[in-house]
Every structure is written in structure tokens, then in C-alpha cells.
Amino acid sequence: MIKSTILTALLFLGVYGANAQATFSVTATGTNPTIDSAISYTTNIWSQYLTSSVPIKVNVVYTNMTGAGPLAVTFPNGEKDFAGAPKTGVWYATCLANSIAGIELNPGEFDMDIYVNSAVDYYFGTDGNPGVSQYDFVSIFLHEIAHGLGTASLSKIDAGIGSFGLLDSSSTAPLVASFPFPQLNGLPSIWDSFLINGSGQLIADTLIFANLTTALGSEFESDDLFFSGPSATIVNGGSAPNIFAPTTYEAGSSLQHFDEASFPNPSGNSLLTPYFFNGEVEHNPGDLLMGALTDIGWSTVNVGVSEIDAISVMAYPNPVENMVRFKWNQPYQGLTLIQLYNSTGKLVKSISTPGSVEIDMTEMAAGVYVYKAYLKSGVASGILQKR
């Protein structure tokens, strides 16, 4: 099979606001009704996983990028140090910042630009049945939106010198972002702030690794980086998931994907790996990516479902402060057992219910919990973050 790198987000990026299901506003250039239908199908998938009271504004450009060679490229817009930001001195994707703030912080600007290479043999059906030589558009577009949501690194290497937050408009050439390129001021993204090396050191901590140094560049090319978010770590069986950090830095891919070898297609967690293959299909984010999105600040609607169209359990709000509601994504008849486990694996709550139910977590300690819902069709599991 042909392997093709997805050169993705070069720019930026937490919801503590309202629990409205996320909506997408898409502006597309160069597409047709068939492509538009596939785009709508993909944004509807993401809408079922995220909450935001502010629409997520996506600019799609379908154009021939034969010279550039990627399947698609995403430029997330960015905000930092906004009112209510969980962390200061880091960049958030604007759609994430808007969701946290509960207001639109970037009026008149898109939240992300997604360039799709029209020279690629895409399958635009939504049934997950591409030809053996085709690339599944829904899978690729689902991946690109993930970068626009904030799974993006602001790292680069120049002559062995590594840096965060020193990208500029020349970094996207020959493509041009629709929004003004922000002055990054040497700051990392919220995603970067969770990256650690094998010794557990935060590589974006300038007290450990100074910006613009060969020491930082060596970390970028160490093949020994991990994502330290607590939710993603629990989903990964208690180990921080491997990050793609090959010994030769790959601009647009290094540091902003999970490692390909660690999370192959059959794992269910390969949507955010750097390579896509002909015929590969990924139509849901997977537990690991949903855990990482929770860690960088997104409030999620449902986590840990195997198929968006299957009977599964939705948990919201997430993060939760007091009451968390569990409900099915379609009518379901039968008794369901819901169990909550803390980060040490101890069972802390168990309840049987024939339908949707609320669980009071007011007196439970802050941290990350795993839930399991035993359905007639199998077990749906996911994570909850308690604030």
C-alpha cells in the first residue's frame, strides 16, 4: 500500500462553558455537492462528540496541490491569554478558546483553514467503503478537523536548533491562511504544553529546555516523546501515549500526531497518526484522541463509543462539576449497568438503569474517572474529568 504523509496543522490552541452540542459553519471553495455532502457528514460526526455555544467556523479550499504533495493541510487560527483561559502563555485554537470563553473572540475570521489536495484520488462516499487505491475523504477530513480543534504543535527545527512559537507566514508557503498570522512570541500551543520526554520532563518548559537551542532540537528528534494528559494516559492503560517524534524532524507531522507504530489502524486509535493508507477508514475519533481533547480543554458529549451509529452511551457535561448525565444515542430497551472507576482502578460508583440517568459527583474528588456501561450490544467505555 502507498503511504502518504498528511502535512497538517502548523499553528495552534480547553470547555468550561455551556453544554450545547457543537455546530459547524463551513465555507467551501472548489467543491461540488458530492464533496459538500461528505464534509457535512464529517462535521456531524464531530458535532456528536463536542460541546460549544459558539459555532466552529471552517474554511475549506479544494485545490490542486501536486507540488506540495500532501493529502490535506490545516491552519488553525489562534488565541492566547483570553479571559477564562485555563493556562496563560500558551496558544489555543480559536474554536477552543471561543468554547471556553462562551463568546466569539475572532469575529470575521475563520477558526481553521483546511486545504484539500484535489489531485488525490479520494472516495467521497460516507459508507466507509473506498476502493483499494483510494483515500477515504471522511477519514482524512475528520483528521484535519482534529488539528483545527487544537491537536497542533508550534515547533520547528532550523539547522538543528529547536524552537516553539517562532513560525510565521512563510512557514505555510505557498499556501496562505485566510486570517492574519499571529505573532506567536515564542510561545507553545496548549498541545505542546503536555509533551514530555522519556524522563518525564516537559519539553516546552523553558526552565528545562531553553527555546532556540540544539538541546530542544534534540528532544524533537529523540523518538522519545509522549503526551502527558491524564485522560489520554488513563485511556492508554496508564501510560502516556507515544508521540510521533522521528529522528529526522518532519515539518507539519512531528510532535502533533500519535506514533504510527504504537497505534496502528486496528487499534481504534489511529485517526491522529501521521500516515494514511489507501483504503484506510477511520470514522470516529477513538478513545485516545477524545482523551487528549479533554486534556487540552474541550468539553465532550460522548467518549469511548465504538461506532457513532451503534447503540452507545453519551456522558455530559465533561468535564463535570456536580451532576453527570448518561444517555443512549438512540432508543434502547433493557437494563444497563454503569460503573465509575477512579484513576487507581477502584470501583467508586455502580448503578443499574433502564435509560438515561444522572449521577451526582459533587462529593467525589477532582480527577479523571473511567466509566463502563454494559449494553446488550457490548461494553461502552470512556473517561470523565471531575473538576
Under 8 Å between Cβ of 253 and 7: yes
Confidence of residue 173 (pLDDT cuts 50, 70, 90): confident
The pLDDT of residue 354: 78
The DSSP bridge partners found for residue 157 are 162
Query: How high is the mean pLDDT of the chain?
Result: 88
Q: What is the pTM for the complete model shown?
A: 0.82
Residue 311: per-residue pLDDT: 63
CA distances, 116 to each of 30, 208, 257, 282, 354 (Å): 10, 38, 19, 17, 45
Question: For 352-364, what is the mean pLDDT?
Answer: 86
More confident residue, 316 or 376: 316
Band the pLDDT of 383: cuts 50, 70, 90: confident
Give the residue range(s) of CATH 2.60.40.1930 domains in the chain: 315-386
Report, as an integer, the average pLDDT of 180-203: 97
Q: Residue 57 — very low, low, confident or very high, per pLDDT cuts 50/70/90?
A: very high
Residue reference for cell 471531575: 386
Q: How confident is the model at residue 10 (pLDDT cuts 50, 70, 90)?
A: very low
Mean pLDDT of 191-211: 98
Residues 32-40, mean pLDDT to the nearest whole number:
98
- pLDDT at 12 > cutoff 50: no
301, 328 contact by CB (below 8 A): no
Is the Cα torsion angle 274, 33, 149, 233 positive or negative in sign? negative
Q: How confident is the model at residue 216 (pLDDT cuts 50, 70, 90)?
A: very high
Sign of CA dihedral 55, 57, 62, 66: negative
pLDDT per residue as tens digits for the range 62-98: 999 976 578 999 999 999 999 999 999 999 999 999 9
C-alpha cell at 180: 492574519
Q: Residue 378's pLDDT band (boundaries 50, 70, 90)? A: low
pLDDT band at 8 (very low <50, low <70, confident <90, very high): very low
Per-residue pLDDT band for 331 (boundaries 50, 70, 90) equals low
User: Taking residues 46-54, what's their average pLDDT?
Assistant: 92
Q: How confident is the model at residue 355 (pLDDT cuts 50, 70, 90)?
A: confident
Closest by Cα among 146, 68, 161 to 114: 146
Q: Supply the pLDDT for residue 17.
A: 34
Arithmetic mean of pLDDT, 16-24: 67
Q: Model confidence over 305-321: pLDDT tens digits?
A: 444 445 667 788 888 88
pLDDT in tens, 239-261: 999 999 999 999 999 999 999 99
Q: What is the pLDDT of residue 48?
A: 85
| pLDDT score for 317 | 83
Q: Which fold has domain 315-386?
A: Immunoglobulin-like (2.60.40)
Find, among 374, 369, 373, 380, the residue nearest to 318 by Cα.
369
